Every structure is written in structure tokens, then in C-alpha cells.
A and B are shown apart, each in its own frame.
Chain A
């Protein structure tokens, strides 16, 4: 342990105690029942709803992950992973969020699978969707813990795996006790801390910019500022990767269900516009300039995500850096527990209760307890993903997680706006995309970008999902009128 080690441990201890206390408060205030545990009965007030919508997005991934990938892999990868955030994500969000909110309120949905089963009139598409989306979600959860643990390890000198266990236990307790409402309450704390701390960190960087300034022009000559990826790669990213992110990533989707009032969705448009622009656009860029000026060649580290914490530790001193980074670490755990809660909800409702039918007939209390216990199952699966990360977290996301999010979202978008899509089209669309993605990635073209035309890694499989959904919709009979009438009831 470094000399400073005991201070962050005490601060983190206090922070986590507050965190768990908030989830207890949520448990007491929200009452009991499966709908309360999974989706806060769709009655989340404006403040926790806005904070949880923002905190679910705004994570260590944005501040640390994107900066590190820019610093180690180059500018192209920052553009790749954020281009939709500063171009098309606001209008896509507007197009989808109000509709999802209305449908959830009208039909009392608790998971994305509820909507899919209702719209298609069958549980098969719900199960297929849940399985296809849960595996990238669990990896997504894993990389959140990687960023958190690496940052905390760099600050304290305590091992990465110790922090991995600590963060996983804290997230699991929060979700086990408080469910979605508990996560949302914690997000208010995290969000307030995050915004304050981020301001101070960026302010401290600006205040010490003079020490970095002589090296800036040299830094700009670094190869990382050169573009190398071809245009067809960006074109396919923009049109295919951007589609699910505004509202159809399951942990965002469920939060839209939890919102009580329409005006919260309206307000979130403006909040997202500011947050996405700053946190996924300007801040990673400024930090990378600073890192490159400070270390023209990246120093040796155990996990690449350590760079940002180490940089601030050397720039403003370890004590101040540690205290400030608490906000960052808080925001990170907010995304992690949001994803964990979503995995638990989907695993319980869309897989367990749907496949093992007698569970759905259990008393409400027993079902609720079983759902809470799923937290342990999911956290153990995430531990496998986070135990030994070989690549920076953004690279893991790029290669494995994002393509499957797009593949699973495409049939949902088609289903929402085109009444011809039926259960066969939806199921085969998801299956064909997911299977071909795995084949392309691991069997046919294992080398990046998993196709010979330098398209985005998930492009071919996503296009296949679109084509299959459309063709099967056209050659099979439309969904029953009764199903469509109840689903699209105005």
C-alpha cells in the first residue's frame, strides 16, 4: 500500500455506507412487491428519475475509458465510440423515449421482454431477446467494474482484485436491497458528487495548464491525433451502432419505464444534450491532450485505465486526487448497479418466470425474494468478465458488446413502427444477427474488423438481422389483429 492508502479506504468506507443506507431508505419508502423491486412501480419522481437516466450513461467509461482509448489507440477510436452522441442520438431518443414511456404506462410493463411478448403475442421472442442481450449486458457490467477497480487501485496501491470484490459486493447489496428505486436514490448522490468533482478536476487541470502548455504543440504531433480508420467504417457505425443507444439499451429502456411523469422525459432531452456533448466529446479530448503532453509515451501500467488517476495524482497530489476521484468512482458504480439491476430484472422476469412457469404462480413475496437472489447469479457472471481484462475496456466493448446491442435493437425498432413484424420475424431477426455475428467474429473472420471490407465489426450481422426481419415479416402472415389493437391502443 502507498503512503496515502489508508485515507481513500476510510473515505470509500464512508461513501459506501451512505450508499447502502440510501438503498435501505428506498426499500422502506417503496414498499414491497415485484413491480416495485423491478421498476419502482413506474412511479419514480422527477429528481431520482433524471439523475438515474443521466448517471446510467455517465460513467467512468466516459471519463476514464474514452480518454484512455484515445491516448493509447488514437483519435479514431474516440470518434468511433462517441460520434452518435454529438450527432444523432438526441433525435433518436425523442423518437423512441415518449413511445416506450406511454406503452409501459398503458400496459404496466416491467422489462423490455414484457413489451416484446405483448407486441408479438408470444413468449418465444421474449426469451430469445433476453438471452441474446443478457450476454453483452453482463460483459458491459464487467467492464464497469474493471474501470472502477483499476482507478481505485491506482489511487491506493491496493490490488485491483481486492477492489473488484469490494465494488461487486457493494453493487450487489445495493441492488439486492433497494432494487431500481435504491439504485435511483444512490444515483442522486452519485450524480451530485460526479458533477461537482468533475468540475473541480477539470478546473484543477485548467489551473495547472501552464505546466503542460510548453509540451502541447509537441503532443499534437503525436500519431494518436492522426486518422486511420476508413470512411465505410464510420458510415456503418453511425447508421447501425447509433440506433440502440438512445433508448433501447436495456438499462436505459427500463429506466424509461420507471419514470412517473411525461415532463421528466422532456427534461431529459436537454440534460442529455449537455451531458453527452461534454462528457463524451470535449472532456475526453482535453484530458487526452493533457496526458499526451505530460507523458508523450504512455508509461507502463498494469491496467490501461490507471492512466487518468495516475495523471491527476501526479498533477495535484495524491490526497486531493483521491478525494476528488471519489465522485468519479461514485458515478462508475451508478452505471454498474444500473446494469446489474437490469440484468436481474430480465433474468428473473424474461427467462426464469417465462421458462419455469410454476414460479409465476408463486406468492408475490416469494417471487420478489427470488428476483433479489438473482443479484448473486449475475454478479458472479460479471466477475468472470472482469477478472483478467486483457484489453482496454473500450476495446472489449467495441469487439463484443456493441454489435450485439445493435443486433437486438434492430428488430425492436422495426416492430415498434411496422405492424407487419410478427413473432417469427422478430425471433429469426434476433437469432440470425446474433449467430452470424458470433460466426463472423470467432470463425470466419477472426481478425479485426471481422469482415474483408473494413465495415464496422457488427455491420454485416446487423444488416442480416434487418433483412431477415423484413423478409420473414413479408412471407408470413401479419400478427393477429387483436394483439395489434391492444398494443397500439391510443
Chain B
């Protein structure tokens, strides 16, 4: 038998699509398209003999960490409000 606290946590997660889920889906679509543009323009060739692919990697690494932090905070806030 789950404890009362875990039961509350379970209730806080809906199975239907919420607004935050729609944001996630929009992110998936937009990020896919943007990353393909980046592949086109930011991975082929060199800037001052440095491969553009290196710059591409650095940009996406920073972006990914920012995105993870944003969703971490978003879910923290969401659960704080609903549970």
C-alpha cells in the first residue's frame, strides 16, 4: 500500500495532455527543425581553420543544459502547486 504522500504524488501527474505537455511537444518539433538548420549551416566548413562542427557542439551543449534547467524548474513549480 502506497503511503499517503506517494498517493498525492501520483494524483499530481495527469495522464491526459496538459499545457506543459503541449509546450514539450512544440519544443520537440521546433528543436528538430532548428537543429537541422544548424546542421546545414553550422557544421560544414571552417572558421579560421576551426571546424564549424566544434562551434555547433559548444552551442548545443550550452542550450541543452539551459533547457534541462528550465524544465526542471517548471516541473518543480508545477508539482508544488498541484500536490
A278 pairs with B61, CB closer than 8 A: yes
- Take A86-B63, A87-B35, A274-B68 as given contacts and tell me if A261 and B6 are in contact as well, using a CB distance cutoff of 8 Å: yes
> Which residues of B16-31 have CB atoms within 8 Å of chain A's CB atoms?
17, 21, 24-25, 27-28, 31
B43 pairs with A227, CB closer than 8 A: yes
Q: Shortest beta-carbon distance, A364 to chain B, in Å?
A: 19
State A488–B13 Cα separation when bound (angstroms): 12
**Inside 8 A of B79's CB, which chain A residues have their CB?**
262-263, 266
B43 pairs with A75, CB closer than 8 A: yes
Most chain A beta-carbon contacts within 10 A, residue among B12, B63, B68: B68
- Take A91-B28, A490-B14, A490-B15 as given contacts and tell me if A272 and B57 are in contact as well, using a CB distance cutoff of 8 Å: no
- The answer to whether B81 has its CB under 8 Å from any CB of chain A is no
Residue of A nearest to B17 (CB): A417
> Which residues of B27-82 have CB atoms within 8 Å of chain A's CB atoms?
27-28, 31-32, 35-36, 39-40, 43-44, 46, 49-51, 53-54, 57-58, 60-65, 67-69, 71-72, 75-76, 79
State A87–B57 Cα separation when bound (angstroms): 11
**Inside 8 A of B54's CB, which chain A residues have their CB?**
285, 289
State A258–B56 Cα separation when bound (angstroms): 36
- The answer to whether B11 has its CB under 8 Å from any CB of chain A is yes
21 CB contacts below 8 A, A to B, read: A87-B35, A91-B71, A92-B24, A94-B75, A95-B21, A95-B28, A98-B75, A102-B10, A105-B6, A220-B50, A225-B53, A227-B39, A260-B6, A261-B9, A262-B12, A269-B75, A270-B72, A273-B67, A277-B61, A281-B57, A488-B15
- The answer to whether A208 has its CB under 8 Å from any CB of chain B is no
- The answer to whether A476 has its CB under 8 Å from any CB of chain B is no
- Take A86-B60, A220-B49 as given contacts and tell me if A239 and B43 are in contact as well, using a CB distance cutoff of 8 Å: no
**Inside 8 A of B67's CB, which chain A residues have their CB?**
90-91, 273
**Inside 8 A of A276's CB, which chain B residues have their CB?**
64
**Inside 8 A of A366's CB, which chain B residues have their CB?**
none
A88 pairs with B13, CB closer than 8 A: no
B69 pairs with A101, CB closer than 8 A: no
State A250–B31 Cα separation when bound (angstroms): 25
- The answer to whether A234 has its CB under 8 Å from any CB of chain B is yes
**Inside 8 A of A267's CB, which chain B residues have their CB?**
72
**Inside 8 A of A231's CB, which chain B residues have their CB?**
36, 39-40
- Take A225-B51, A231-B39, A490-B11 as given contacts and tell me if A86 and B64 are in contact as well, using a CB distance cutoff of 8 Å: yes
**Inside 8 A of A263's CB, which chain B residues have their CB?**
9, 79
- The answer to whether A238 has its CB under 8 Å from any CB of chain B is yes
Binary contact readout A133-175 vs B (1 if CB under 8 angstroms, 0 otherwise): 0000000000000000000000000000000000000000000
- Take A88-B28, A231-B40, A266-B76 as given contacts and tell me if A273 and B51 are in contact as well, using a CB distance cutoff of 8 Å: no
- The answer to whether A79 has its CB under 8 Å from any CB of chain B is yes
**Inside 8 A of A256's CB, which chain B residues have their CB?**
none
Q: Shortest beta-carbon distance, A80 to chain B, in Å?
A: 11
**Inside 8 A of B44's CB, which chain A residues have their CB?**
226-227
**Inside 8 A of A92's CB, which chain B residues have their CB?**
24, 28
**Inside 8 A of B71's CB, which chain A residues have their CB?**
90-91, 94, 269, 273
Interface majority SS on A: helix, strand, loop or mixed?
helix
> Which residues of A95-112 have CB atoms within 8 Å of chain B's CB atoms?
95, 98-99, 101-103, 105-106
4 A-B pairs closest in CB distance: A273-B68, A262-B9, A270-B72, A86-B60
Residue of B nearest to A278 (CB): B61
State A213–B6 Cα separation when bound (angstroms): 55
- The answer to whether A235 has its CB under 8 Å from any CB of chain B is yes
**Inside 8 A of B61's CB, which chain A residues have their CB?**
86, 277-278, 281-282
- The answer to whether A302 has its CB under 8 Å from any CB of chain B is no
State A83–B43 Cα separation when bound (angstroms): 12
- The answer to whether A217 has its CB under 8 Å from any CB of chain B is yes
Besides A220-B51, A273-B68, 20 other A-B contacts (C-beta < 8 A)? A79-B39, A83-B35, A94-B75, A95-B24, A102-B15, A105-B2, A106-B10, A227-B39, A227-B53, A231-B36, A234-B36, A261-B6, A266-B76, A267-B72, A270-B69, A273-B64, A274-B68, A281-B57, A282-B61, A490-B15
> Which residues of A224-280 have CB atoms within 8 Å of chain B's CB atoms?
225-227, 231, 234-235, 238-239, 260-263, 266-267, 269-270, 272-274, 276-278
A90 pairs with B68, CB closer than 8 A: yes
**Inside 8 A of A85's CB, which chain B residues have their CB?**
64
A87 pairs with B68, CB closer than 8 A: no
B6 pairs with A94, CB closer than 8 A: no
**Inside 8 A of B43's CB, which chain A residues have their CB?**
75, 79, 227
A238 pairs with B32, CB closer than 8 A: yes
B35 pairs with A217, CB closer than 8 A: no
B13 pairs with A272, CB closer than 8 A: no
**Inside 8 A of B2's CB, which chain A residues have their CB?**
105
State A220–B45 Cα separation when bound (angstroms): 10
State A221–B49 Cα separation when bound (angstroms): 8
